Amino acid sequence: MKNSVFSQKIYSFLLAAYRWYLVTPERSLHEAYDAALKIKEIEDKHFNGNKIDIDSAMYSNSVMDYFESDLKKLLKIARMRLTEFRASRWFLNEDNQKAAQKTGIEYLSPSLVLEKLNFIDHVISKYTTISDQITSKALVVKPPNLPVNSVISDDKSLLVNTPTLPPKIPTQDSDKKPKFKRKVDTTGILPRSILSTITRLQVELDPNSEQEVIQSFRQTQRRTIISIRFILLLIIIPLLTHQIAKAFVVGPIVERFRSTEQIQIFLNSEMEEEALAELQRYEERLKFENLIKAPAFSSEKMEIELTKRATELAEEFRHESSNAIKNVFADIFSVIAFIWLLVVSKSSIAVLKDFFDQIVYGLSDSAKAFIIILFTDIFVGFHSPHGWEVVLEGVSRHWGLPANRDFIFLFIATFPVILDTIFKYWIFRYLNRISPSAVATYRNMNE
């Protein structure tokens, strides 16, 4: 009986695997078609039905990085699934098709297959000639026996009939500089304030300025939404991972190994000293109440109360020790989730960096100086060692480790100094070039 049931399971598994093999061409074609539909949706929604041009001036650099990441992923899926479709079609013969019909598999009609293939080729063919440009953003390959001018003109001919949205408003961040130059590297003959004033007048006199303002607002709004959402994910996902891992993965395992009574109650000597001090205070309180109350406690009753309290303290510190062990492994899961989120969200990181650049460099000089002084005084100021001591003791207690005073003092003597050096280098290297007036305001406020 058992052999027959096992044989039926093996037969069902082999039949399911064979059915999966038979539908491989249709499945691959469907996934490639779905990827092409997503690319077409991005083109229609954000580029007026035209191809996704990574050098377009319609959006900021960070937004185009976001579109580029999605485009590369979708093109990779479409091309891989087309290759899988061709290979699986080559291996399938008439006998396989007859077997598929017997198992109830119905293939798409040839006309529908051709229609999907034509649509996929129409979408991805626009990006086959710029694959190098997608990966490097600036590489132009010169074909043999052709001058460079012809290559550039041919590449521009692809965009002759491409309607574009109104360009974004020129700001200090984009004073007609190349995309690969950052703000900290831009220099000019005239002061930036004069150039920005001229640019602002040009924008105000432009008849299309209203559309440009709307387009710029939409770009800023989209960047803000992506940045805030990514910040919330960076906070919520590690916290949720910590709680879920602690409650459902690490917690049951630790409780199982620490369920016996012979297990060690205290993880370190500090916990033991704290428990003994608590028990001693409770004993002194009982003696005090015994002295002020008319019916005095007997020695037996006081011993029973002390034993009860000692049992409660042992249970509390056993739970605290188990919780500390759980925190160690749950924090490891949280760090893994945080790193994974950073790895899979490169486009969001680029948008977030642009978002913070706009906020930081858009502040006034006094606001920049105020924030710098606030952060330096908190982390590397005169009173910062006490804060670092509290933080390190809290981390030690969170992991159930004894607070090593020598390590804490060594950390306080070195890390704030390194942090202060980094602050000063950033002020000297970057802020002094971007906003010298902010540095002057910082020095006056600091003095």
Residue whose C-alpha is closest to residue 445's, from 365, 391, 387:
365
Query: Does residue 156 surpass a pLDDT of 50?
Result: no
In three-state secondary structure terms, 326 is helix
Mean of all residue pLDDT scores within the chain: 76
Alpha-carbon distance 228 to 362, whole Å? 18
pLDDT level of residue 281 (50, 70, 90 thresholds): very high
Token pair of 389, please? 């001591």
Query: Among 27-41, 117-131, 189-203, which range has the highest average pLDDT?
Result: 27-41
Return all residues near 234 (Cβ < 8 A) that are at least 6 apart.
338, 341
Alpha-carbon distance 432 to 438, whole Å? 8
pLDDT for the residue 131: 40
DSSP 121-133: HHHHGGGGGGHHH
Residue whose C-alpha is closest to residue 88's, from 147, 42, 25, 134:
25
Query: Does residue 231 surpass a pLDDT of 60?
Result: yes
The residue behind tokens 């809290």 is 394
pLDDT level of residue 303 (50, 70, 90 thresholds): confident
Query: Among 142-151, 170-179, 258-267, which range has the highest average pLDDT?
Result: 258-267
**First vs last Cα of the chain: how many Å apart?**
91
Query: Among 268-272, 330-334, 423-427, 433-437, which range has the highest average pLDDT?
Result: 330-334
- Residues 288-313 have a mean pLDDT of 82
Residue whose C-alpha is closest to residue 182's, from 63, 357, 422, 362:
357
DSSP 248-301: IIIHHHHHHHT-STTS-S-SSHHHHHHHHHHHHHHHHHHHHHHHHSSSPPPHHH
CA distances from 346 to 66, 100, 334, 350 (A): 8, 43, 19, 6
The residue behind tokens 């100086």 is 369
Token pair of 12, please? 């069902």
In terms of phi and psi (left: phi > 0; alpha: psi -120 to 50; beta: otherwise), the region of 214 is alpha
pLDDT level of residue 166 (50, 70, 90 thresholds): very low
pLDDT for the residue 84: 81
The residue behind tokens 């910062």 is 384
**According to DSSP H, which parts of 92-142 are helical?**
94-102, 110-124, 131-136
Residue whose C-alpha is closest to residue 440's, from 329, 389, 365:
365
pLDDT for the residue 230: 92
pLDDT level of residue 100 (50, 70, 90 thresholds): low
The answer to whether the beta carbons of residues 139 and 149 sit under 8 Å apart is no
For 107-127, what is each residue's pLDDT tens digit?
Answer: 667 788 888 888 888 888 888
Alpha-carbon distance 444 to 440, whole Å? 6
State CA 34 to chain mean position distance. 26
In three-state secondary structure terms, 6 is helix
pLDDT level of residue 235 (50, 70, 90 thresholds): very high
Alpha-carbon distance 307 to 313, whole Å? 10
Cβ neighbours of 443 (radius 10 Å): 11
Residue whose C-alpha is closest to residue 374's, from 442, 291, 293:
442
Give the whole-number percent of the chain exceeding pLDDT 90. Answer: 11
Query: Among 151-155, 199-203, 357-361, which range has the highest average pLDDT?
Result: 357-361
Query: Does residue 79 surpass a pLDDT of 70?
Result: yes
Give the whole-number percent of the chain exceeding pLDDT 70. Answer: 73
Alpha-carbon distance 204 to 24, whole Å? 59
Least-confidence region, from 165-174, 207-216, 296-305, 385-394 = 165-174
Task: Report CA Rg, the chain.
Answer: 34
Q: Which residue has the higher pLDDT, 310 or 140?
A: 310
Cβ neighbours of 140 (radius 10 Å): 12
Token pair of 383, please? 């009173």
For 11-32, what is each residue's pLDDT tens digit?
Answer: 666 666 666 667 777 888 888 8
pLDDT level of residue 184 (50, 70, 90 thresholds): very low
177-213: string of b/e by CB count within 10 Å (b at 16+)? Answer: eeeeeebeebeeeeeeeebeeebeeebeeeeeeeebe
CA distances from 127 to 77, 153, 162, 262, 289 (A): 14, 17, 15, 68, 86
Calculate helix-pair angle for 209-244, 299-344, nearest 10 degrees.
140
The residue behind tokens 């949280």 is 334
Token pair of 102, please? 């017997």
